[in-house]
Structure 1
Amino acid sequence: MAQAGAYGQRLGQFLRLRDTPPALITRTLRSAELAVTETRDDNPVPGLSGSLTAEDAFLVSLKLHDYPDCELWEGGKCLMKRDIPAGATYLYDLKRDPRYVIDKPFHSLFFYLPRSALTDFAEQTGSPRIGELACEIGTGHDDGVIRHVGALLREGLHRPDETNQLFIDHMMLALTAHVTRTYDGIQHPTGPTRGGLAAWQINRACEKLESDLSGKISLKQIAAELDPSVGHFSRAFRISTGLPPHQWLLQQRLKVAKQLMAARDLSLSEIAISAGFANQSHFTRVFSAVVGVSPAAWRREMYRPARSES
């Protein structure tokens, strides 16, 4: 089945990249796709970018490299030239055929947000229907939230084997919420924050999470069993446990790993896989960052033989 949205391979073709750029994808309860793609070309072939199929969707772009004197096109016409600074966020409406002249090295993150996904998000959270996003051509935004989310997702793009679906779901949900509340032209009233999950829901959710420590299960799959929307489930789970689902799962991984390290016949590589990590290197990096020492050092300290008294 051909890819439908402006991400991954299709976005790479639009930017005339030689290779398919890396992308992370998540889906709403109604299976609308949201995605983030990292695009980079240090030696582009000069020329006008391709043209994306017109669709009711938006691209939110975080620029990671300065792009001076950028020639911006829309609707088949060159409208302006503008310096594009690193760290700025730009929004594009794909109904307007946004394009630009590629004649310098570029490096950007693109978040693909179809209107169907934004509508789904609004319905799940009880918000009013999404209006038009602020997609003024050439207008950049100093958006610290998108820079932060982008930095975290770039880690996932660079280490796909170590990135679980729960993390991708959570970060894209957070970005969608931020974009709709920050760049929607309609002022939405802020409703009351709903409470946490019922005890049976928490127990069931935790059972589902613990059944797959690798994190391949998605928020959509868990929420579908418990009836609340993905957005409601993620917020309510955090209210009930103090942690978002992907961080709660990480704590369970570390707990299991510590229990397994008591078994002296198990190697750290075996423990890493059993506790849901991609490999020993992934396990060592995460354990060291959270606990403060490497798994080997922690194991030696916790289970070293007691000294015999003289």
Structure 2
Amino acid sequence: MLMYHGAFGDRLGRSFHLSDPPVLRSQTRRGARLAVTELRIDKAGYGMTSPMGNDDAYLVCLNLRKQSTHELWCDGRSVCSTSCESGTTYMLDLRRDPIMYIGDPLHSLYFYIPRQAIVEIGEELGKRNVSGLAIHPGECFRDSIVGSIGQTLLPIFNKAPAANQALIDHLLQGLCVYMVSTYSGSSTRSDIVRGALAPWQQKLVTQMMRERIFEGISINEMAEACGLSAGALARGFKKSIGMSPHQWLLSRRVDMALELMADPDISLADIAFNAGFSDQSHFSRVFTQKMGVAPGAWRKSLTNSKRAEAA
């Protein structure tokens, strides 16, 4: 089974079809992972990224080069189409399966901050109702603190990180504190959607579906694990996630297919089978509905991007 281990370093690089991008790592006092990855794409016309993984975490991006066309999709829907100047920042919620179109050469730093770290820092700051970062998907803004931390870390990528680990720890942990202090959102009773799943139920159900991504799992089985009726589980999941459990499972299978499509030697029929679809026709219908193009056209665009990069 394909597993995600945090959208930083090589895992994040694969989403941009880059091998072994430089990464600096740290962690909070309780062991939550923090990281920053430097990504460079020197030629224009790159195209679409692959999924970054459905992760309970955020990416805080610092643009070091202007992007005249910044397009972002979340949960399979277009949410942003604008330009981003050099020195601006935007944030991505990895629970929403972000995918981006990159038209210009790219140079950015991607800071990885898991929700676990946000809650931990919130408690240390006495803000015990912090549940995440309050963001507008894809909105570019200037933040001098994020910019200064990024510019301070940038030269360290080209030096021996081990010799600078104390500074890396200070800056990445400091950024996490700053993000919680400045951009955190609170979870109060008024924020809870009536009829939605509790956070533990949502986490349990999505984990059960991930573990049974190939063979599938019944609504009744998930409902029993959550102490709900099948109808209440289905309604609560849709209110919490914005789609039915079946649609969520199909989206995860599409994510797996996108990973597999990076290998030109695997046929679309084999990709459909290995991603858990009943056949290639079913795969094609679901893929086209989510991504807006057929699998063959997507793969052709990916191949052309790799050729242009190698030229």
Q: CA deviation at 1:88?
A: 0.6
- Look up the equivalent residue of 1:106 and give its one-letter code: L
Q: 1:23 Cα deviation (Å)?
A: 0.6
> Within 5 A, what are the aligned runs for 1:191-206?
none
Moved over 6 A (4+): none
Verify the 8 A CA contact 1:156 1:163 in the aligned structure 2.
no
Structure 1 stretches lacking a partner, 5+ long:
188-310
Shift of 1:179: 0.5
For residues 55 and 162 of structure 1, do their structure 2 counterparts lie closer, same or farther at Cα, with a shift above 3 Å needed? closer
Whole-Å Cα distance in 1 between the matches of residues 118 and 162 of structure 2? 28
Aligned to 2:143: 143
The answer as to whether partners of 2:9 and 2:37 remain within 8 angstroms in 1 is yes
Aligned counterparts of 1:181 and 1:65: Cα–Cα separation in 2: 27
What aligned pairs does 1:141-220 form with structure 2 within 5 A after superposition? Answer: 141-161=141-161, 163-186=163-186
Give 1:21's aligned residue. 21
2:136 aligned with 1:114, yes or no? no
CA distance in 1, matches of 2:22, 2:45: 20
Distance in 2, Cα, partners of 1:114 & 1:73 = 20
The question of whether the paired residues in 1 share the 8 Å contact of 2:48 and 2:99 is answered with yes
How does 1:286-305 map onto structure 2 within 5 Å? none
TM-superposed deviation, 1:161: 4.8
Tell me the TM-score normalised to structure 1 length: 0.56
How far, CA to CA, are the matches of 1:23 and 1:161 in structure 2?
9
Partner letter of residue 63 of structure 2? Answer: K
Q: Distance in 1 between matches of 2:77 and 2:53?
A: 16
Structure 1 or 2, whichever has the larger Rg, is: 1
SS state at 1:83 partner: strand
Q: Aligned to 1:169, what secondary structure does the other structure show? A: helix
Report Cα offsets for 1:184-220 as digits up to 9, x if no partner.
1349xxxxxxxxxxxxxxxxxxxxxxxxxxxxxxxxx
**Structure 2 residues without counterparts, runs of 5 or longer:** 188-311
- Cα distance in 1 for residues equivalent to 2:129 and 2:155: 32
> Quick one: percent identity of the two aligned structures?
36
1:82 aligns with 2:82: yes
2:8 aligns to what?
7
Change (3 A) 1:29 1:132: closer
Partner secondary structure for residue 107 of structure 2:
strand
Q: How does 1:115-130 map to 2 (within 5 A)?
A: 115-130=115-130
What residue in structure 1 maps to residue 133 of structure 2? 133
CA offset at residue 75 of structure 1? 0.9
| Residue 35 (structure 2) aligns with | 35
Count of aligned residue pairs for this structure pair: 185
Aligned equivalent of 1:192? none
Give, in whole Å, the separation in 2 of the partners of 1:80 and 1:120: 30
Distance 1:112 1:130, change over 3 A: same
* C-alpha spacing 1:42/1:31, structure 2 compared with 1 (3 Å): same
Coordinate RMSD, CA, aligned: 2.0
Please give the alpha-carbon distance, in whole angstroms, between the structure 2 residues aligned to 1:29 and 1:173: 9
Shift of 1:54: 0.8
Distance between the aligned counterparts of 2:95 and 2:104, measured in 1?
26
Return the offset for 1:3: 7.0
User: Could you say which residue in structure 2 is the equivalent of 1:93?
Assistant: 93
Cα distance between partner residues in 2 of 1:146 and 1:49: 24
Judging changes above 3 Å, is the alpha-carbon distance between structure 1 residues 161 and 136 closer, same or farther for their aligned structure 2 residues? closer
1:175 is paired with a residue whose SS is helix
* Structure 2 equivalent of residue 267 of structure 1: none
Q: Secondary structure at the match of 1:132?
A: strand
Residues 70-115 of structure 1, C-alpha deviation per residue, up to 9 Å, x if partnerless?
Answer: 2221111223320111111101100111111123211100100001
Please name the residue that 1:241 is paired with.
none
Q: Distance in 2 between matches of 1:151 and 1:61?
A: 13
Q: Which stretch shifts more, 88-97 or 178-187?
A: 178-187
Per-residue CA deviation, residues 140-174 of structure 1 (Å, 9 max, x unaligned), is 12100011111111121121257422111111111
Counterpart of 1:54 in structure 2 is 54
| Contact kept? 2:79, 2:138, Cα under 8 Å | no
Question: Are the structure 2 counterparts of residues 161 and 90 from structure 1 closer, same or farther at C-alpha, using a change threshold of 3 Å?
Answer: closer
1:47-76 Cα distance to aligned partner (Å, 9 max, x none): 211102111100000000000122221111
Q: CA deviation at 1:45?
A: 6.1
